[in-house]
Amino acid sequence: MSERLIPRSCHDTAALGILCQAWNTSAFEEFVAERLEKSGMRVWRPSDTYVPDGGVDIIASPRQSPFPFLLAVQVKHHAAKNLKTGPDTVKDMQSIVSNLPFHAGMIVTNTDFTQDAQWWAAKSSGKIQLQNIFQLRDWVSDDFTSGRLREMPNKIQLTPRLTVDIW
């Protein structure tokens, strides 16, 4: 769908934002699912957009990986660009990842996240990834890793006396 619906002008964040807001929620979910497939994931949509889904709009797993995992994806579509996704969505995703057989969670929005939502996601030790309009712009260009290494810690403290430098 997105190959058909996204013109080259949507490599610009403002143009992509306008297009995403014009879509309905179902079309935006379809766009996210298609982009995840393009990134190398197998994708399942457990239900129609307006059917209660327990907070999981898409399930994804790498097609080829020696370390398979299940990713729960919640898609948040806002009709107005000034609306942001708040911390309740992040807390719901943390509960999903903790209580169901998912290894990680991703929340995708066509706008941005509040500071509180970003704070709560940061507390998840990388298990909850937030994808906003800026990452979606990269996805349109088939760049699925932009900014990912920035979110990796530089060091990990394994014990009170052992810290490992990662980068």
Sole residue written with tokens 């996210």: 32
DSSP 160: T
- State which CATH number among 3.40.1160.10, 3.40.1350.10, 1.10.3470.10, 3.30.70.640 fits the domain covering 2-165: 3.40.1350.10
> Can you tell me the distance from the alpha carbon of 83 to that of 112, in angstroms, rounded to the nearest whole number?
8
- Average pLDDT for residues 116-123, to the nearest whole number? 93
Residue range 120-166, pLDDT digits in tens: 998 888 889 999 888 888 877 777 776 555 566 778 888 999 989 87
Structural domain boundaries of the chain?
2-165
Q: Is 18 exposed, middle or buried (0-12, 13-18, 19+ CB in 10 A)?
A: middle
Name every residue whose Cβ is closer than 8 Å to that of residue 41 and which is 6 or more positions away in sequence.
Answer: 60, 61, 62, 63, 71
| Residue 9 pLDDT level (bands cut at 50, 70, 90) | very low
Measured distance CA(148)–CA(141) in Å, rounded: 16
pLDDT of residue 81: 83
Whole-number pLDDT of residue 1: 45
CA 66 to chain centre: 22
